[in-house]
Amino acid sequence: MKNEMLTVAEVTAKIENGDVMVLAGAEDLLTQLPKGKWIGGTTVYFVTDTGGAVVRDKVFCTTFPEASGAVPRFVDVADLPSIAQGYAPNGFTMIMIPAFSVAHSNFAIDGQTYDGLFNQPLAGWITGVHLDDLGTRAPKVFDGATGIGHEEGAVLLHCALPEGSHVDLDILNIFAQGDQKELSFSFPKGGFSAGTVTVDGKEVNLARYIEENKIDTRLPLVANYAGALVNVSIQAVDAEAGEVKFYAPVVEGVEYKLARALGSYSEAFAQGAGDKGDGEYSCNCILNYLYGELEGQRTGNFTGPVTFGEIAYILLNQTLVRMDISDAA
Amino acid sequence: MIPDATDPRWTRVLTSESDLSATSLATRILISRLRREVASAPATLAAKIGELRDFVGKNAFAVADVARF
């Protein structure tokens, strides 16, 4: 696997060479690319070799020379549950979904119940735009089979691997669960927003509770999925309306704990990454970029797009997703 | 080799809160969902064991995870 920042001309040459790639960049760059074995998504935020940066004139390109074949595929909202039907034997699948789309919401809520979804590694991200363009420009995904950009649905790159290859898909979450019972929350109903929540056995309105207790909403709510720490980030708190909105859905019956406060996000990533990252696929969250002030800062050896949500089987928030491929023995 | 559906490990892993940090990410996320579903509808246990066994059968890395259940 190889990560590079390339010009449109350089990416075009790779596509024409038949390279299997996932791409990230500004919409006006992705629209110029020829058809081929690739999928792409819009963002202008990246973590590069020299640190976090806004890049508008180059495309971040991850090439999979390990792949023995690849099929780009666009699915509309109705066909989202059929994601696994395109899985290549002994392969992996990359996925991109536009932020704020119906597909984004449906995948977040129902994705993990789609038939066969877990039957091979599924990694990717939610595409975005520059924050100054929110509300005026829509995030898009691009299907290399047609070269067409879409504001709705999802693009998939179903990749095949030689027999014996191994894909290691995991997350690097720099947040840990806090241990204060008054910052531990259970929701009576799942979804992207919440009113009532149970805290330490008492029902309260979450929005007012956050305001009254001056809770730092830059910290995610962290659930423990049998040892995997999964974040839900807080998008907005409206104490008057009594509603809190989230960037990913909370799940009914799951206990969430507010994350412990962090010092330097960059140092936390470097510590968590160790010597991993070189030659691996990764994406990281726009909230980590913003709250952690990652512009100009590195995240260990990991490079990749900065996104409006990360996918490792399910939608994640404020998390680095990483994937490595080992050659057949 | 994947244990038979009657192997007690399947029931144990889906009806406990045991930490599975040593297993793959896919296994942790899937089992977390299956545990919630079994807790809210215990009669679905056999079906959920079937779903978990299917997943293990399709992912070589998950076969090693079973030993950690």
Please tell me the pTM assigned to this model: 0.95
Which chain B residues contact residue A314 at CB under 8 A?
Answer: 29
Regarding predicted confidence, which is higher, B36 or A253? B36
What pLDDT, on a 0 to 100 scale, did the predictor assign at position B22?
A: 94
What SS3 string covers chain A? CEEEEECHHHHHHHHHCCCCEEEEECHHHHCCCCCCCEEEEECCEEEECCEEEECCCCEEEEECCCCCEEEEEEECHHHHHHHHHHCCCCEEEEEEEECCCHHHHHHHHHHHHCCCHHHCCEEEEEECCCHHHCCCCCCCEEECCCCEEECCCEEEEEEECCCCCEEEEEEECCCCECCCHHHEEECCCCEEEECEEEECCEEEEHHHHHHHCCCCCCCCEEEEECCEEEEECEEEEECCCCEEEEEEEECCCCEEEEECCCCCHHHHHHHHHCCCCCCCEEEEEHHHHHHCCCECCCECCECEEEECCEEECEEECCCEEEEEEECCC
Average pLDDT of chain A, as a whole number? 95
Same domain for A161 and A66: yes
Same domain for A283 and A191: no
User: How far apart are the CA of A136 and the nearest CA of chain B, in angstroms?
Assistant: 36
The answer to whether the Cβ–Cβ distance between A171 and B23 falls below 8 Å is no
Q: Which range marks the domain in which residue A101 is found?
A: 2-172+265-326
Q: Could you say which of A258, A277, A310 is where a domain stops?
A: A258
**pLDDT over 60 (residue A155):** yes
Same domain for A112 and A36: yes
Share of chain A above pLDDT 70, in %: 99
Q: Could you say which of A258, A282, A305 is where a domain stops?
A: A258
Residue of A nearest to B52 (CA): A118
Same domain for A141 and A17: yes
Same domain for A188 and A70: no
How many distinct structural domains can be found in chain A?
2
- ipTM for this prediction: 0.93
Same domain for A145 and A275: yes
The answer to whether the Cβ–Cβ distance between A226 and B31 falls below 8 Å is yes
Out of B20, B25, B58, closest to residue A119 by CB? B58
Interface of chain B against chain A, CB under 8 Å?
18-33, 35-36, 39-40, 55, 58-59, 61
What pLDDT, on a 0 to 100 scale, did the predictor assign at position A329?
A: 57
Assess A85–B contact: CB distance below 8 Å, yes or no: no
Same domain for A273 and A247: no
Same domain for A168 and A47: yes
pLDDT by residue (tens digit) across A53-92?
Answer: 999 999 999 999 999 999 999 999 999 999 999 999 889 9
The answer to whether the Cβ–Cβ distance between A120 and B59 falls below 8 Å is yes
